[in-house]
Amino acid sequence: MNRREFVSGLTAATALAGVASTAEAAEGRRVALVIGNGAYRNVPALLNPPNDASDIAAALKRLGFTVSLATNASFDDMRRRLIALGRDAAGAEMAAVYFAGHGMEINGENWLIPIDADLKRDTDAANEAINLQSVMLQVSNTTSLGLVILDACRNNPFAARMNRSIATRAATMSGLGRIEPVGNVLVAYAARDGTTALDGDARNSPFAAALLRNIEVPGVEVTFMFRNVRDDVMEATRNEQQPFVYGSLSRKAIYLAARPPAGAEEAAPSSPLPAVISPAPQHTPTSPAIDPALVGTWEIMVPGGRGQSRWIWQIMGDGTYRFHAEPQRSARSHEGTITAANGHWTLHALRGLSNYSDGGAYEIHDALAVITGKLGTGAWKRSAE
């Protein structure tokens, strides 16, 4: 089966499924396909993807998704599962695809690589790989959100061994190419277009590990959840890897985990982001209010007797913070819980400082925050750290 026949088949299957199943779709139904390809037959194996897929599948099940999990999937297996997902996704509230493994851009198109792909020539991708456009199509017929998450931006050994045809002499890029999803579809890359993601040396890749830390945090709107993943990955990789999300949703707030407490959404500004973020349960049993505009990493240069020092605050959407200074002697590192809403903030240190609390006022002006308090009063700017 060539690519044109495959994409046409997916289109027809999606259209027919939409007619047949919309009337019987249960309110709030969620479906997902999770694929982790590591045991490639024609290039060196990848260690993380099967672990990543298994762990993400478990998290999605806890979030109410009906999950189809495939590890080390062939082209035929991926094709069949995508068609089945398209049928299940028609009329569902949410549909998601998570893929970990090799992916590549060829002449402006993005491809997810099955384990049995050989790819001796660039034109072989049409018959041996899965086009990202067809994946987006399969999650597009939902009532709320179609989500594609790709940890597939690794250095790709297929590109180095591939002969390019005369018709497609454009060089294969590192990582995946830029895309423009339409409708209610979001696509999240582990590393932005044209760059590569790291595998890491733990059970999970840095991107999968960050996603697992954030995807089940209650009260966090989906686009804001991916902001937290971005910050975690950049911190873990020392800014070598920047995740990126493509797509544009309406102002309606969408939550993968539990919604914010009653009344929190009404209190939010005209934005899809919530005003109240429930914390991770290991930090505190309460639900501190966090202004989404204040979440992120902030820094200020502080003068002292030995010259200037750089103070850095990392404020998380789950109501926790971390503080450190460079050089370290200028201020003691600590972390704890924080609240911030309606221009006022308070914090309480849990580690690093004993019996330390602070509070004050704040104003946000784009990438600048005017902060008052006992520690670090002044104009803080957003940091890439």
Helix (H) or strand (E) holding 8: helix 3-21
Alpha-carbon gap, residue 141 to 183, rounded angstroms: 9
Which residue type is seen at 52? D
Asked if residues 323 and 308 have their Cβ atoms less than 8 Å apart, the reply is no
**Comparison of pLDDT for 263 and 289, the residue scoring more:** 289
Mean pLDDT of the chain: 82
Helix (H) or strand (E) holding 56: helix 48-62
**In this structure, which topology does domain 3-246 adopt according to CATH?**
Rossmann fold (3.40.50)
Asked if residues 249 and 143 have their Cβ atoms less than 8 Å apart, the reply is no
Domain 292-382 of CATH type 2.40.128.490? yes
**Residue 222 in 3-state DSSP?**
helix
**Residue 163 in 3-state DSSP?**
strand
pLDDT at 371: 81
Q: Grade residue 268 by pLDDT with cuts at 50, 70 and 90.
A: very low
Lowest-pLDDT range, 10-24, 67-81, 97-111, 226-240?
10-24
Q: Grade residue 376 by pLDDT with cuts at 50, 70 and 90.
A: low
pLDDT at 378: 72
Instruction: State phi, psi for 372 to the nearest 5 degrees.
Output: -120, 145
Q: What is the mean pLDDT of residues 170-175?
A: 58
pLDDT at 27: 52
Q: How far apart are the first and last CA of the chain?
A: 47
Domain-wise residue ranges, the chain: 3-246, 292-382
**Residue 167 in 3-state DSSP?**
helix
pLDDT at 114: 97
State yes or no: pLDDT of 277 exceeds 50: no
Strand order in the sheet with 109-112: 103-106, 109-112, 130-131
Alpha-carbon gap, residue 286 to 306, rounded angstroms: 40
What tens digit of pLDDT does each residue of 173-204 get? 578 999 999 899 999 999 999 899 888 788 99
| pTM (two decimals) | 0.64
Q: Grade residue 274 by pLDDT with cuts at 50, 70 and 90.
A: very low
Q: What is the mean pLDDT of residues 139-168?
A: 82
Instruction: State phi, psi for 188 to the nearest 5 degrees.
Output: -110, 125
**CA distances, 273 to each of 67, 132, 165, 270 (Å):** 27, 28, 46, 9
pLDDT at 369: 82
State yes or no: pLDDT of 262 exceeds 60: no
What tens digit of pLDDT does each residue of 87-138 get? 999 999 999 999 999 999 988 899 999 999 999 888 899 999 999 999 999 9
What ranges make up the beta strands (E) of the chain?
Answer: 30-36, 66-71, 94-100, 103-106, 109-112, 130-131, 145-151, 185-189, 244-246, 296-302, 309-315, 320-326, 334-341, 344-351, 357-365, 368-371, 378-382
State yes or no: pLDDT of 280 exceeds 80: no
Q: Grade residue 10 by pLDDT with cuts at 50, 70 and 90.
A: very low
What tens digit of pLDDT does each residue of 296-344 get? 898 888 776 667 788 888 898 888 999 888 888 778 888 989 988 878 8
DSSP state for residue 294 in the 8-state scheme: G
pLDDT at 53: 97
pLDDT at 385: 58
Alpha-carbon gap, residue 325 to 20, rounded angstroms: 60
Q: According to DSSP H, which parts of 311-361 are helical?
A: none
The encoded tokens of residue 357 equal 């609390």
The encoded tokens of residue 293 equal 């505009």
Which residue type is seen at 127? N
Nearest to 70 by CA among 93, 97, 105, 104: 97
State yes or no: pLDDT of 213 exceeds 70: yes
Q: Grade residue 63 by pLDDT with cuts at 50, 70 and 90.
A: very high
Lowest-pLDDT range, 7-11, 80-84, 203-207?
7-11
Alpha-carbon gap, residue 70 to 169, rounded angstroms: 34
Which residue type is seen at 291? D
Percent of residues, the chain, with pLDDT higher than 70: 81
pLDDT at 346: 85
DSSP structure string for 121-142: BGGGHHHHSEEHHHHHHHT-S-
